[in-house]
Amino acid sequence: MTDTTSTSSSPFPIQDGFVIVVKRDCETCRTVAPVLAQLDGSLGAGRELAVYTQDDPAFPSSPTPIDDTELEFSWHHDIETVPTVIKIVDGAEVARTVGWLRTAWEEITGVDGLGPDLPPMRPGCGSLSVDPDLVDGLRVKFDGGVLTARRVEVADAEDVMEMMFARGWTDGLPVVPPTEERVLAMLEGTTRAPGDIVAVIPPDLDEITVEKVAISAVMAGCKPEYLPWVLTAIEAACNDEFNMHGLLCTTMPVSPVLVCSGPGTRAIGMNSGGNVLGQGNRANLTIGRALQLVVRNFGGGIPGDIDRATHGSPAKISFCFAEADDTSPYGTLAVEHGIDPGVDAVTVFAGEAPQGFVDQLSRTPESLTRSLAMRLQAVQHPKLIMMFDAILVMGPEHARVFADAGWSREQIIAGIYEHLNSPGSELVRGAHGVAEGVPEAFGTAESLPKFRPGGLMLAYAGGGAGLFSQIIAGWLNGDKGSKPVTRAVRY
């Protein structure tokens, strides 16, 4: 027996007594039908019995059942199993039990000797109100009023997929039609109220609600359990610190990069291993895509309009991946940014599509840090410094070189930085016959760093085979550009 307090707005038909929910298409319900009749004459003065039937208004024969074939009572009172016995005191639920267990029924009703000829226990059956074939329709029927977004009528002869293309709601790929059933199912993935404001979406600076994020998540192909990650990504990306508006307006091929970590990434099936930055994983691809659709459809970030990228990038469709934090030898990017270990988190970074790094021969930290530094010098341009951040996504085989030597995250970053300094004379405009470079004023500097402090970040992901890592080059950093933002996932 489970003690409970009812929070449903749907009233009970009695003030004191018991409500029992059954269906004929349940062997246990048919088995306990004699007990229902027995209870009807055994409760005593002041206590009533109401029996709701889900599928046959004539079942049981006694007492006279209440028709719940529309499943309104079962839905509003969270009936998951039949038979369910609910104890009512002063019009409120105080306890319930499910299935048939003689001792539990006798305890909750206070009536001894129930069903003496019946077996002592039988499990119940699934309630029709939680039937997978019915639940989406019931959610719309009874909870659809929480949705406030504008409904779009589609003519019977109109192809809904082509309609969404024609109205500019897609990113160039087909999207899932956001029906009421799908949006309400998506909202089951979060405890937040549909009308809660999540963020102000640039460039149009419109407020977006949880409901509208759910609409985008449906269109992107998300499952409900992905929704908290989408909501968190939007909160991290839509603020002055990250500067999503500037990211849209730049002609560089950059977009929000979502780096996720924590046990929740594994619970929802995100990929942190082989092909981690590629295709094939629904969670990775649809979470990142949902953010992009929010910015496009609710913020007005339309390519060729406010989005002025010269070349663009496949990453502008979706760029989201998980760190392998359960096997990482040096923690996570989120921990580097102040999130406690083991906490689900999203870091959003203004970056380009990944660029490969190959070193098949380095077997010592000293060699590998020098090798990585040579490759990192080329981020955006070898002669441009401290303007662009980068994330180094280190593969397991490269990371093992450092782990075997006992190097920490801080030692790895410091070791790479040590080889990222260049004399100003090598970087100034005109040096090496290249016009690009830093201003002449830096020409006398003995040593200039490639990255600002904290500008090179470290993540851990990828397949176990192959001495490869990936570099995600960033956009203009700092107050004039974008700063990486990390947020703990709020469910």
409 within a domain of the structure (yes/no): yes
172 falls within a domain: no
Q: Between the CA of residue 325 and those of 13, 333, 392, what are the distances in Å?
A: 53, 9, 15
Give yes or no: residues 103 and 215 share one domain: no
Q: Please report where in the chains the tokens 């069903």 appear, as a residue.
A: 115
CA-to-CA distance for 157 and 412, rounded, in angstroms? Answer: 61
User: What is the DSSP secondary structure assignment for residue 482, as one 8-state letter?
Assistant: B
210 and 355 inside one domain: yes
What residues of the chain score a pLDDT lower than 70? 1-9
User: What is the number of structural domains in the chain?
Assistant: 2
Specify whether the CB–CB gap between 293 and 318 falls below 8 A. no
Instruction: Please state, in angstroms and rounded to a whole number, the distance separating the CA atoms of residues 231 and 488.
Output: 11
Answer yes or no: do 121 and 248 share one domain: no
Is there a single domain that holds both residue 243 and residue 322? yes
End residue of a domain, out of 106, 131, 156: 131
Asked if residue 166 belongs to a domain, the reply is no
Same structural domain for residues 278 and 384?
Answer: yes
225 Cβ partners below 8 Å, 6+ apart? 189, 267, 268
Q: Describe the crossing of helices 227-237 and 282-297 by its angle, rounded to 10 degrees.
A: 50
87 and 196 together in one domain: no
Residue 20 domain-assigned (yes or no): yes
Three-state DSSP at 363 gives coil
CA distance 78 to 201: 36
Whether 250 is covered by a domain: the verdict is yes
Which residues does residue 471 pair with via DSSP β-bridges, in sequence order? 355, 392
pTM for the model stands at 0.89
In this structure, are 326 and 446 located in the same domain? yes
pLDDT value of position 194: 97
Query: What pLDDT score does 397 carry?
Result: 97
407: left (phi over 0), alpha (psi -120 to 50) or beta: beta
Q: Where are the beta strands (DSSP E) in 4-90?
A: 17-22, 48-53, 66-67, 81-82, 84-89
Q: Quick one: pLDDT at residue 156? A: 87
| Domain stops at, among 70, 99, 131 | 131
In a domain, 174, yes or no: no
Q: Which helix (H) or strand (E) holds 76?
A: helix 72-76
Q: Model confidence over 96-142: pLDDT tens digits?
A: 999 999 999 999 999 999 999 999 999 999 999 999 999 999 999 99
Q: Token match 């490869």: residue?
A: 468
Alpha-helix residue ranges (DSSP H) falling in 112-270: 135-143, 160-166, 180-187, 210-220, 227-237, 244-249, 263-267
Q: Which of 131, 154, 188 is the last residue of a domain?
A: 131
Confidence (pLDDT) at 6: 47
Phi, psi of 111 (to 5 degrees): -110, 125
Instruction: Find the CATH number of the domain harbouring 84.
Output: 3.40.30.10
- Say if 156 falls within a structural domain: no
Q: Are residues 311 and 383 in the same domain?
A: yes
Residue 244 structural domain: 180-488
pLDDT score, position 9: 58
Same-domain check for residues 192 and 127: no
Q: Report the b/e string of 83-120 with b at 16+ CB within 10 A.
A: bbbbbbeeeebebbbbbbbbebbeebbebeebbeeeee
For residue 165, the model assigns a pLDDT of 93
Give yes or no: residues 254 and 359 share one domain: yes
- 247 and 353 inside one domain: yes
Crossing angle (nearest 10°) for helices 409-417 and 365-376: 60
Distance CA 346, CA 261 (A): 7
Residue pLDDT, tens place only, 49-91: 999 999 999 999 999 999 999 999 999 999 999 999 999 999 9
Based on the domain organization, do 296 and 428 belong to the same domain?
Answer: yes
User: What's the rounded Cα separation, in Å, for the pair 267 and 74?
Assistant: 30
| Domain-embedded: residue 150 | no
